[in-house]
Amino acid sequence: MELRIYIQMLQRSWWIVLLTALSALAVALALTFVATPIYQATARFVVSPTLSLADERDVVRSLEVLDKRSIVVTYAEVLDSYRIYNVTLAALNLTPEQLEDYIYSTVVLPEANILELSVEGPDPQMAMLLANNIGQQAIDYIRQLYSAYEIDFLDPATMPTVPIRPNPIRDASLAFVLGMVVGAVLAIIREQLRIPLETFIRRTMIDSTSLAFNRNYIERKLEEHVGRSSSAAVTMGLIQLDGLQGYLDVMPQPVIQRILREVTEVMREELRGNDLVGRWDNTIFAVLLFDTPGKAAVSTLGRVQAALSKPVRFSPDGEALNVRPKVGLVERQPGDPSGLIIDRAGEALDQAIGDETGLVLFKIRPLVGFG
């Protein structure tokens, strides 16, 4: 379940993943072109018992010692020592400052008495020269200390022709993959931040019980619409559910919720997509019909009234409630502010409650009922 949610998040914010991956790729390629190539020269050495040992048992003991790896590891430390490095620099007439861009290291190959010395630096010829000279200086030094074992070149270093870094193909591929991973993380974080924000915004405009818009949102939208132009047309309707009076305090909240949501759904089915339905009060709903004259609004809300006049089921057992809708409407006149429209809609609803038809359109002169 969670995996499916994350996949949906990535699908919605796929452009973040792609943009991050392409940005990482571009940065990697740019760094590749400006970076100084680094070359690696490698020399290998083999450690073995001295052939001049007279006693065969001494040779066997020497091999046993070699199996314990202590001799080979000691020789590796010698190759890595500052002493050998400084002697090598003196022999080549070089200073540490001249070689500050070079590094060297020695490793013992597993399951073998083989040492591998690697030197990395910007000049392939200097890297080869250092590897071979450090190796030779170490060999000379070791031979003075140990007579039972010999160390010698197995493979002298050769001048490398291809830098070990940067590697455009490898670096670009790695950067692209890492960019996708980072992009995916950013996309998920964005979605997680956006969804709570959308939820918060939705809570500020939606009535949680009926799932219609709340009164504040309806008032704000009405004010925005009439504020665009002094002649912007809009008809506002207030629908009171007379049959629900007295039940709000005695019915369980889930039942009230089910009834009000059914009412909201019925009204939305009868209205256009740009018309708004909101819960105005406990038992009153508001409807905004944009760019709709009064007579057309009467016809529209007449259909809404007829649909709401059918009993609303609120239980699996078929129990239903007749909400008995009463509808008051007002058509905005040129220059009318939103406050005046709301007041007149309330007056129309008061008239509708006492009218036979239960549907009244507000008029400046005596209110007229519609059958």
What confidence score (pLDDT) does residue 54 get? 46
What confidence score (pLDDT) does residue 79 get? 93
DSSP states of 111-145: TSSEEEEEEEES-HHHHHHHHHHHHHHHHHHHHHH
Amino acid at 45: F
What confidence score (pLDDT) does residue 303 get? 92
Query: In a structure prediction context, what are the per-residue pLDDT tens digits for the chain, which is 371 residues long?
Result: 457 767 777 888 889 999 999 999 899 888 888 888 999 999 999 988 776 544 555 554 555 555 556 778 888 999 999 999 999 999 999 998 999 999 999 999 887 889 999 999 999 999 999 999 999 999 999 888 777 778 899 999 999 999 988 888 888 899 999 999 998 999 888 877 776 655 555 667 888 888 899 999 999 999 988 888 877 789 999 999 988 887 877 888 888 888 899 899 999 998 888 899 999 998 999 999 998 888 889 999 999 999 998 887 766 666 778 889 999 999 998 888 999 999 999 999 999 988 888 999 987 544 444 44
Amino acid at 228: R
pTM (predicted TM-score)? 0.48
- HSE-up (13 A, CA, CB side) for residue 317: 3
What confidence score (pLDDT) does residue 340 get? 92
DSSP states of 1-15: -HHHHHHHHHHHTHH
Q: CB of 221 within 8 A of CB of 288? A: yes
Tally of CB atoms within 10 A around 308? 23
DSSP states of 208-250: TTT-SEEHHHHHHHHHHHHHH-TT--EEEEEEEEGGGTTTTTT
Give per-residue burial for 281-304: e unless 16+ CB within 10 Å, then b.
Answer: eebbbbbbbeebebeebbebbbeb
Q: Are strands 149-155 and 39-49 parallel, antiparallel or unpaired?
A: antiparallel
Match 């010692």 to its residue by tokens: 65
Match 């040129």 to its residue by tokens: 334
- Residues 172 and 119: their CA atoms lie apart, in Å, by 25
Tally of CB atoms within 10 A around 215? 16
3-state SS class at 333 = coil
What confidence score (pLDDT) does residue 170 get? 86
H or E stretch at 343: helix 338-353
What confidence score (pLDDT) does residue 67 get? 52
